[in-house]
Amino acid sequence: MDLQLKGKTALVTGASRGIGLAVVRALAAEGVRVVAAARTTTPEVVAAGAIPVTADLSAPAAAERLVTEAITELGGLDILVNNVGGGDGGLSGGFLELTDAQWAQVVDLNFFATVRVTLAALPALAAARGAVVNVSSIGARVPHGGPIAYTTAKAALTAFGKALAEEFGPQGVRVNTVSPGPVRTDMWESPTGYGAELATAMGIPHDELLANLPTAMGMVINRLVEPSEVAALVTYLASPRAAATTGTDHLIDGGAVKTA
């Protein structure tokens, strides 16, 4: 299927690895000119044919600078993919163990960074009658399934997408959310990531946790979601083929969430 994306322009945040890198590759394969934003530039981003831009979106002023640079590089903006997030490392304890500083860090990266980038990008997106896709998490629907600060921030992100779609739909801007379950990324697989910390807290080997995770999460596909599978959904939602789709939250979780 031709997604009618050739010649479009896109900004992808959190683009150096995992889901973000997969989105960059998927968009570029459809002929989209992509600015890939991350704290560090990786060879994989360059190999994907994207324009790398270094940006630490935990700094409030970085969002406007990033969007300005992206629009200058691309000559406009049709698509914004807000994938920046994370910060779940060191949060395997419970609510009583979290400090104000940890709450602020996680909510800022997983929610306010997207708010700031979207705010800066909306004039260009409205001019192009463009699309926004926010990458949230099934933790927004099952908040007990991850660190409380992380899942709370993702719940705010999902609500933000729905409200934004309602307000800016009449201006031609579509806003949708993608909510993955456990994805085969560093969050779960890295020896220093959340998965490894969780395994340590549970007193089991890291590889054992990963092997049992799909079953424990109720994933009927019996494996983790691949980043490329999330990227395919993001790319479709960003495309003109999804012109009548806005204000939605799409689960891609292998059947983990059992409610509508």
Q: Report domain extents, the chain.
A: 9-181+226-252, 185-224
* CATH number listed for the domain at residues 9-181+226-252: 3.40.50.720
3-class state of residue 51 by DSSP: strand
Question: What's residue 197's pLDDT?
Answer: 86
The Cα–Cα gap between 95 and 92 comes to 10
CA 225 vs CA 169, 180, 191, 230, 253: distances in Å: 30, 8, 19, 8, 7
pLDDT digit string (tens) for 62-109?
Answer: 999 999 999 999 999 999 999 999 866 666 678 898 899 999 999 999
Question: What's residue 88's pLDDT?
Answer: 60
Question: Which helix (H) or strand (E) element contains residue 74?
Answer: helix 62-74
Question: What's residue 87's pLDDT?
Answer: 62
Given a contact cutoff of 8 angstroms between Cβ atoms, the answer to whether 73 and 51 are in contact is: yes
- List, run by run, the mean pLDDT of 10-residue segments along the chain (260 residues): 96 96 98 97 94 94 97 98 81 83 93 98 98 97 84 97 98 98 91 87 93 94 97 98 98 92
Query: Which tokens hold the place of 162?
Result: 């729905």
Question: What's residue 72's pLDDT?
Answer: 97
Question: Which helix (H) or strand (E) element contains residue 120?
Answer: helix 113-128
Task: Indicate whether this model's pTM tops 0.85.
Answer: yes
The residues that are catalytic are: 150
The dihedrals phi and psi of 144, each to the nearest 5 degrees, come to -75, -10
Question: What's residue 206's pLDDT?
Answer: 96
pLDDT digit string (tens) for 26-47?
Answer: 999 999 999 999 999 999 999 9
CA angle, 44 as apex, 38 and 48 as ends, to 5°?
Answer: 95
